[in-house]
Structure 1
Amino acid sequence: VGRTAQGEVIWLTVDGRQPQSQGATLSELAQILARYGAVDAINLDGGGSTTLVVRNLVVNSPSDGVERPVSNAWLVYDDAQRPALPRYTDYRIEPPQATLKVGEQIRFRLMRGEQPISTWEAVWGAGSLGFIDQWGRFRALRPGRDVISVYVDGQWLHAPVEVVGDAPTQNGNNSGN
């Protein structure tokens, strides 16, 4: 968790023991937070149970592929009154579904009508089969069927995804702390 000079809070997870991420040392974590503007930070070493959830959607890639049941958590809640947002009904995910092999990547896009929607307006999440970043790039990590989810303008959209092939074996190389 970091804090900027302006008082903004940065919540950051570093995934490890996975094909797309081997973790980070404390020095590497400090450099990452500094790049995001942190002037103060504290390391909350959660290990494999580290999970970041936004609007009930897992946005990192827990090392077990799913959330672990743990008895402690940090919770950030905002009850500020906001003006009513327009509720468009013509959002969609492109492509509307996908089949990939383990290790392959695809870019999902959020569309409203024929216009792509800025990634800043949405929160992306993937189930237990892979990892999706907040630009809509999904990497398939293990075989099975699940959905890609995106939260935008007060509503959820989903795109089915199937991952085929064998799951990669772990090589045990993890540069974590």
Structure 2
Amino acid sequence: MANELQGRTVAILAADGVEQVELTRPREELRKAGARVELVSLSTDPIQSMNSDINPAEKFEVDRAVGDVSADDYDALVLPGGTVNPDNLRVDEKAVGFVRAFFAAGKPVGAICHGPWTLVEADVVRGRTLTSYPSIRTDLRNAGATVVDEQVCTDEGLVTSRNPDDLDAFCAKIIEEFAEGRHRVHPEGATA
């Protein structure tokens, strides 16, 4: 399993306010599985992570700005949470377009905690089944998703989890889905 993702490149899209463990843990597990992982953000300035949304944690160097990359550069995408992080991402047209392009290409995506908020803005949850942090479930339903309260939920290459307590299941499932590669393009939403 150490080379399950050998030759694959994964983007982690995050901005200031990202929940530190939701960035570091998937990155570590993806690297262990052999993937090359790049941190993509709104600019190349370092981003400030948080612990539980209230305590500043580490700053992370950004590999590439979202305006300088394309979904074509990557095999899969991870969207960590933290309340402020997806709120910053979903008001940036380039970030939203980047996310939408993964769905239009049928590439696998993992989103945890508040991460699915960006999926709502990208209009890619309609007709899908997901889980998330409880406070954004109404937003997901209003955007046309079916919401479940499960540790990890998979819907044709889209992997979602509720919070950092689900990271073991989330990391195992994104590695599995990312190894499978492209999936069928979902008929609703996901239009680039």
**Superposition TM-score, scaled by structure 1 size:** 0.30
Structure with the greater alpha carbon radius of gyration: 1
Higher helix share: 2
**Superposition TM-score, scaled by structure 2 size:** 0.28
Higher strand share: 1
